């Protein structure tokens, strides 16, 4: 595929490479050479929902001391044109190696909305796909195969994203009440919790919105995602309760692509769990 039709040809001072790849996430490193020193960025394609073949794009400057935001941000990143050219190149490479029916990203700067619109439309036109916008606290763009219906993006099919981004605490608390399995958290060195799940010590099975995995794989996933070593340990009641309140409030303020009304939270969790085989077995066989 020739990217000259999409953007300008990839500049000679820009290069990229794949630095990690598994079934849930593919990570690229993009380097832009400047007169003073190279600037290095990380571009991630993170599975948006299991088996959906839609991938979330996350982009940020590489800085191990600062955790990345879950956004596609261009602030203080230099040349937007070079960055978009490199990202487009990586997207085409990703498509050549992975089954994908769509991409999504959340724009961080309202002032650059026109630029994001152009990027999304050019990618969609090049692939023969369509663009759908979801207006919230941040604007989310979906670049998807024409076979996707708009309703599929915002009704039910997309609950995993909610329960992996803020809503993980709601799901963990619900699972704890049903199974009495202890809630564990993924913490950083400052003792801030980033993710919650329930854990069965007898079977070494950790359960979150994606289903079940081992504690070791959970640890490896979050270490890789954050570019630093995180700590998994039993979560405190205070941490979980605080984040449950924040998650419900955030849903009401349209921070997530799909909102779950607070009055329907428990029903929404139950509907979601009933569709995930490992979670369904855990709850109704306990």
All residues at 6 or more sequence positions from 61 whose CB lies less than 8 Å from its CB, including other chains: 39, 40, 41, 42, 76, 77
- Are 148 and 163 contained in the same domain? no
- Are 170 and 125 contained in the same domain? no
Beta bridge partners of 15: 31
Provide the residue range defining the domain that includes 191. Answer: 159-284
Looking at 152, 185, 202, the residue that finishes a domain is 152
Cα distances (Å, whole numbers) of residue 145 to 100, 104, 123, 150: 9, 12, 12, 11
For the record, the structure tokens of 26 come out as: 């593919």
User: In a structure prediction context, what are the per-residue pLDDT tens digits for the chain, which is 286 residues long?
Assistant: 444 445 557 778 889 999 988 777 899 999 988 777 888 888 888 876 655 678 888 887 776 544 444 455 555 555 677 888 888 899 989 999 988 888 988 776 666 777 888 888 989 998 899 998 876 546 778 899 888 766 555 544 446 667 877 788 889 989 998 999 999 999 988 888 889 999 999 999 999 988 899 999 888 888 776 667 889 999 988 888 887 776 655 554 443 444 444 445 777 788 888 878 889 899 987 6
- Could you give the count of Cα atoms lying within 13 Å of 262 in the half-sphere of its Cβ? 11
Q: The domain spanning residue 100 has which CATH number?
A: 3.40.630
Pairing assessment for the beta strands 54-61 and 102-107 based on DSSP bridges: parallel
pLDDT value at residue 66: 47
All residues at 6 or more sequence positions from 170 whose CB lies less than 8 Å from its CB, including other chains: 163, 244, 247, 248, 265, 269
CA distance 64 to 232: 19
Cα distances (Å, whole numbers) of residue 102 to 52, 91, 95, 162: 9, 11, 10, 18
- Are 55 and 131 contained in the same domain? yes
Number of separate domains in the chain: 2
pLDDT value at residue 17: 94
- Are 181 and 222 contained in the same domain? yes
- Are 79 and 194 contained in the same domain? no
Looking at 100, 121, 152, the residue that finishes a domain is 152
If you ran DSSP here, which 8-state letter would residue 51 be given?
T
- Are 17 and 148 contained in the same domain? yes
With contact defined as beta carbons under 8 Å apart, do 113 and 107 qualify? yes
- Are 131 and 42 contained in the same domain? yes
- Are 185 and 249 contained in the same domain? yes
Looking at 131, 152, 173, the residue that finishes a domain is 152
If you ran DSSP here, which 8-state letter would residue 72 be given?
B
- Are 126 and 39 contained in the same domain? yes
pLDDT value at residue 160: 65
pLDDT value at residue 254: 41
For the record, the structure tokens of 49 come out as: 């929902």
pLDDT value at residue 237: 82
pLDDT value at residue 111: 66
Helices 168-179 and 237-252 cross at an angle (nearest 10°) of 130
CA distance 114 to 193: 35
CA distance 105 to 58: 7
For the record, the structure tokens of 141 come out as: 């763009």
For the record, the structure tokens of 57 come out as: 């794009």
- Are 168 and 210 contained in the same domain? yes
pLDDT value at residue 250: 52
DSSP H helical ranges for the chain:
80-97, 113-127, 150-154, 159-164, 168-179, 215-226, 237-252, 265-275, 277-284
């Amino acid at each position: 595929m020739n990217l000259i039709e999409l953007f300008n040809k990839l500049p000679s001072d820009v290069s990229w490479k794949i630095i990690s790849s598994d079934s849930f996430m593919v990570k690229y490193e993009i380097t832009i050479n400047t007169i003073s020193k190279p600037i290095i960025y990380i571009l991630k394609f993170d599975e948006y929902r299991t088996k959906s073949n839609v991938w979330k794009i996350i982009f940020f400057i590489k800085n191990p001391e600062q955790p990345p935001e879950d956004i596609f941000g261009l602030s203080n990143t230099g040349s937007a044109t070079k960055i978009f050219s490199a990202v487009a190149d990586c997207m085409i490479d990703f498509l050549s190696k992975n089954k994908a029916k769509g991409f999504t990203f959340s724009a961080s700067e309202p002032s650059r909305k026109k630029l994001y619109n152009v990027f999304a439309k050019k990618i969609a036109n090049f692939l023969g796909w369509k663009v759908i916008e979801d207006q919230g606290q941040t604007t989310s763009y979906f670049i998807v195969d024409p076979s996707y219906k708009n309703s599929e993006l915002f009704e039910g099919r997309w609950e995993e994203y909610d329960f992996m981004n803020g809503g993980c605490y709601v799901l963990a608390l619900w699972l704890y009440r049903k199974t009495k399995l202890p809630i564990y958290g993924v913490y950083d060195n400052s003792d801030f919790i980033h993710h919650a799940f329930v854990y069965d010590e007898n079977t070494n099975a950790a359960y979150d919105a994606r289903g079940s995995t081992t504690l070791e794989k959970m640890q490896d996933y979050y270490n890789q995602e954050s570019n630093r070593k995180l700590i998994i340990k039993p979560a405190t009641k205070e941490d979980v309760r605080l984040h449950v309140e924040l998650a419900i409030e955030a849903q009401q303020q349209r921070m997530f692509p799909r909102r779950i009304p607070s009055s329907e939270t428990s029903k929404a969790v139950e509907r979601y769990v009933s569709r995930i085989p490992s979670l369904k077995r855990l709850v109704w066989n306990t």
